[in-house]
A and B are shown apart, each in its own frame.
Chain A
Amino acid sequence: MKKILVVDDSPTARMHLTNLLDSKGYHISTASDGEEALQKAAQEQPDLILLDVVMPGANGFQVCRQLKADAATKDIKVILVTSKNQKSDRFWGLKQGADAYITKPFEDAELLQSVASYL
């Protein structure tokens, strides 16, 4: 069973993503900020991380860079999920090493498809 780590500072967003993905049979764990995300990523070794960008403390760009720089976590797929939807945001987001960039709002089907393609 594939493991997904959902990182977002909003409890509502975390709940929404958890419900959505859980119903498809993935095992979900969550983190509410960058520090927790890095910790859980190293510990639990998920197959995929859905990463918000604007968070208290370390932002998603920083976390992504760190994940990809660390040998323990660099092979975990990262999808940035954010409402920052400028073209430049996407460009720089991908430059941080993310595997994909999804903007909010998204169609649930679109997210599921993207998740499936990276697992």
Chain B
Amino acid sequence: MAKILDAKMIAGFAQEIQSYLPMIRQGIASFGADANQQEALQEALRYVHTIKGASAMVGLSVLSQVTAAIEETLEEIVAGRYPIDAERSVWLGQTVDHIENNLEGLLSETVCEETIVTAVTQLLQRCTGRAETSAVPPEVAASETEAELAADYWVDTWDEDGTEAGTVSEAPPATGDAEPIHTPEPEPPAEVATAPVETETPAASEAFEMEEELTFGVLFDAAEVEIEDEAAPSESQSEAPAQAEQQTETPPVMPGALDALINTIDSEVQQVYGQGITARVQHTSRDGVSTLERYLLFSLAGCRYAVAVPNVIEVGRVPAITPVPNVPVWLRGVINLRGEILSIIDVRVFLGIDEGYPLESSRMLVVKSVQDEIVTSLIVDQVNGFARLSKARLEAPAIPVQDKVTPYISAVCEHEEHIVAVLDLERLLLSPEVCQFDEA
């Protein structure tokens, strides 16, 4: 991707990068000296990201690659996956020095790619405590394991009896050997929903984190097929084979699995958001009959809950939390989400259930009230994917799910042999307790 960079642009970019470097160094040093200096590190991360993006845009691929590696390392440190102490902050500083010393060469693309990439990645590997391997650019390594795990994930997921199939090291099957869902009968995907989290082995956990992001789309797809069969039995006969057909076209071949996943997510987003922009509740299902609303399912202390998708802005791992003094115990503190400061609420504690966080599977949901007045984040034990729940089958709670929880439950529904309690998010977000402490 050769782009013509004029001298003026190069000079301008050099100046821009030079202005960021002290900030980056400062952020790293501050955090190395005091682990509470989260914001300083976040800022360093932002500058690195900016350099990565701008260099990618103007075609400086080596610089972009190197800054991507730094960004990834900083992200892992910010997420608490690796510590940063004085020694490591020195190594990170050396990485930044390396870029500065080679800046001219990087901007004119005359520096030897291999030497600088090797040097930087080795320094960063020391930071994150990984064994020093040969100079494999992090992006290449990551994409290989990502595709590999996508294949393994598909193998585990579509095993017919729902049990964990094989080990993570199982070789991905060739195209023709894929096991498609060929029966329209709903299989219990309860194991499916939890399988990817459980099959996570320590060795694969790093790369799996990237794959984790994809699981929502995959689970969504699985849930889609099941629910629509149940909800519209007469129509499903013609629909289900078509959907099964679709499923057969997505066998676990790498990297095809990822492409299929992207297509699924893209087409779904297109469907729901193609017509309008505002993400209000969409009632239409595929055949246009309005029966189903879309929910995100999650677990707290073994019980399943659901929250309407239009209320959910984002899902992800729980970032580093900055505690805030003099607030209720359920308000764990605040998080910095790409520059936005949000309160983070421990839903278990808020609802009077015992404390559970942190769990390996704990996740954050960023939610908003329908009128956008309140935006906040929640900690849940586990995210179980998406489902369409039929409005007709949402009943007011007859059996109390849990005593202190009942006021916040708007309805209860059965979904794949689980009782799912639909959380009344509006009530929770607009409750006096939450409003008082909302940061939005």
Q: Which residues of A contact B (CB under 8 A)?
A: 8-13, 15-17, 52-59, 61-62, 65, 68-69, 74, 82-83, 86-88, 90-92, 94-97, 99, 104-108
Contact = CB atoms under 8 A, between A and B. Distances in A.
A2 B181 CA distance: 49
Given A54-B53, A94-B269, A16 B58 contact: yes
B277 A86 contact: no
A55 B339 contact: yes
B1 interface: yes
B54 A87 contact: no
B373 to A, nearest CB: 11
Contact of B57 (A9, A53, A86, A105): A105
Contact of B56 (A17, A69, A105, A108): A105
Closest 9 CB pairs of A and B: A88-B213, A105-B56, A83-B53, A10-B54, A59-B338, A104-B56, A12-B13, A12-B54, A13-B54
Interface in B22-70: 43, 46, 49-54, 56-59, 61, 64
B216 interface: yes
A68 B277 contact: yes
B277 A97 contact: yes
Given A11-B12, A16-B9, A53 B265 contact: no
Nearest to A14: B54
A7 to B, nearest CB: 13
A95 B339 contact: no
B265 A95 contact: no
B279 A95 contact: yes
27 contacts: A8-B54, A10-B16, A10-B53, A11-B12, A12-B13, A12-B57, A15-B12, A17-B57, A52-B53, A55-B46, A56-B46, A58-B339, A59-B338, A59-B340, A61-B313, A69-B278, A74-B278, A83-B53, A87-B265, A91-B216, A97-B273, A97-B277, A97-B279, A104-B57, A106-B57, A107-B1, A108-B3
Contacts of B315: 88, 92
B90 interface: no
A15 B9 contact: yes
A77 B382 CA distance: 36
B84 interface: no
Interface of B: 1, 3, 9, 12-13, 16, 43, 46, 49-54, 56-59, 61, 64, 210, 213-214, 216-217, 258, 261-262, 265, 269, 273, 277-279, 313-316, 338-340, 372
Contact of B9 (A12, A55, A97): A12
A15 B3 CA distance: 14
Pick from B13, B258, B273, B339 the residue with the most CB of A within 10 Å.
B339
Contacts of B214: 87-88
Contacts of A108: 3
Contacts of B314: 61, 92, 95
Contacts of B46: 54-56
A57 B63 CA distance: 25
A38 B372 CA distance: 17
Nearest to B258: A87
A81 to B, nearest CB: 8
Given A88-B315, A88-B316, 11 more contacts: A10-B50, A12-B16, A13-B50, A13-B54, A56-B43, A59-B339, A68-B277, A68-B278, A95-B279, A97-B277, A97-B279
Nearest to B51: A10
Nearest to B45: A54
Nearest to B5: A16
Contacts of B269: 91, 94-95
Contacts of B258: 87
A105 B1 contact: yes
Given A12-B16, A88-B213, A62 B54 contact: no
A58 B269 CA distance: 24
Contacts of A10: 16, 50-51, 53-54
Contact of B12 (A12, A59, A88, A90): A12
Most buried by B among A13, A53, A91, A92: A91
Contacts of B338: 53-54, 59, 61
Contact of B210 (A11, A86, A105): A86
Contacts of A107: 1
Given A13-B57, A106-B57, A87 B262 contact: yes
A98 to B, nearest CB: 9
Given A15-B9, A82-B53, A83-B56, A95 B3 contact: no
Contacts of B53: 8, 10, 13, 52, 54, 82-83, 104
Given A59-B338, A92-B314, A105 B54 contact: no
